[in-house]
Amino acid sequence: MNENRDRLRIAVQKSGRLSEVSLDLLRRAGLVFRASRDRLFLYGENLPVDVLLVRDDDIPGLLVEGSCELGIVGRNVLDEQRLAAPEQPAPAEVRALGFGGCRLAIAVPDGSAITAVSDLAGLRIATSYPALLADWLRQQGITAEIVVLNGSVEIAPRLGKAHAICDLVSSGATLAANQLHELVTVMRSEAVLAVSPRAQTAATTAQIERLRARIGGALSGDGVRLLMLQAPRSALPAITQLLPARDVPSVLSLDGRPEDVAMQALCTTALDWQHLEELKRLGAHGLMVLNVERMLA
């Protein structure tokens, strides 16, 4: 960590697709923040962790220079900057965060004669991700011209600037609206937690590890439900078989009711009404499904 600082800094997108979800994740990891007057900082009130709110494109640079120890950023942005400056020490991806999912894809105009990857040879491809595209083209053994555009990449073919584009796609609606369709996926991306190559002191490493574990705990609760029920002891084998359980269920005795048990099970797949009705048919009662907010293994 920066020698003049004993607080960890985490860079998060200020306003954009990843902003709210990133802050929400940090809150679920237990951080309580107070906004600074200029709205560039969020001061951590209960832990020595502050949030720096910036443009997503600035996050890899802040990590490289060590102004921030951690960042939440799209893998597409992180990898683009790593490939664009191979001589610099690069931030490392600590873990994927399960939101901001998209793919970097090459798309061509509907009705285009380009139907295979090899057809791209010698053509012009417009993109905001020149380093990722160049790396992919090199791996494919294709030589093409890369036209760098910083926005509205999808209109480049209509303007005659390029034969194809290489851009982020999530639903595909933007491509369809511009009479384009996907030819091939160049990379899959999502928001990731990234760490500065300069964050190396023992104290920093320990703080980062603590935050990483907390974020992991908040994420591992996603989609996990706790099923609670009571049932005759004799019905347990049938009930257990029916459960989409993640671990072995806990079975508890009930005071004064030796024939019955209470059961708790963590389930990762959806527990719909049909599941509950089937469990009831097997003798279960008092069924309850609860959201799991966080878990620590």
**Which of 63, 77, 261, 265 touches ligand PRT by CB under 6 A?**
77
Q: Which does 69 bind (CB under 5 to 8 A by kind): Zn ion, ligand PRT, none?
A: none
List, in sequence order, every residue forming a beta bridge with 52; answer none if it has no partner. Answer: 11, 41
Amino acid at 124: R
Closest-approach residue to ligand PRT (CB): 74
Q: Is 17 in the site for ligand PRT (CB under 6 A)?
A: yes
- Measured distance CA(46)–CA(31) in Å, rounded: 7
Q: Is 208 in the site for ligand PRT (CB under 6 A)?
A: no
Which residues contribute to the site for Zn ion (CB under 5 A)?
Answer: 56-57
**Which of 2, 112, 174, 220 touches ligand PRT by CB under 6 A?**
174
Q: Which does 189 bind (CB under 5 to 8 A by kind): ligand PRT, Zn ion, none?
A: ligand PRT
Q: Is 76 in the site for ligand PRT (CB under 6 A)?
A: yes
- Encoding tokens for residue 205? 């490493």
Shortest distance, position 288 Cβ to ligand PRT, whole Å: 36
Q: Is 168 in the site for ligand PRT (CB under 6 A)?
A: yes
**Number of residues located near ligand PRT, criterion CB under 6 A:** 21
Shortest distance, position 17 Cβ to ligand PRT, whole Å: 4
**Which of 25, 42, 56, 97 touches ligand PRT by CB under 6 A?**
56
Query: Count of H helices and E strands in the chain?
Result: 8, 16
Dihedral in degrees, nearest 10, Cα atoms 151, 157, 162, 163 = 140
Task: Kindly list the distances between the CA atom of residue 195 and the CA atoms of 85, 139, 184, 282, in Å, as whole numbers in the listed order.
Answer: 17, 27, 30, 50
The radius of gyration of the chain from alpha carbons, rounded to an integer in Å, stands at: 25
Sole residue written with tokens 């005759």: 232
Q: Is 18 in the site for ligand PRT (CB under 6 A)?
A: yes
Cβ 11 vs Cβ 59: under 8 Å:
yes
List, in sequence order, every residue forming a beta bridge with 225; answer none if it has no partner. Answer: 267, 291
Shortest distance, position 62 Cβ to ligand PRT, whole Å: 13
Which residues are near ligand PRT by CB under 6 A?
Answer: 13, 16-18, 55-57, 74, 76-77, 100, 102, 167-174, 189
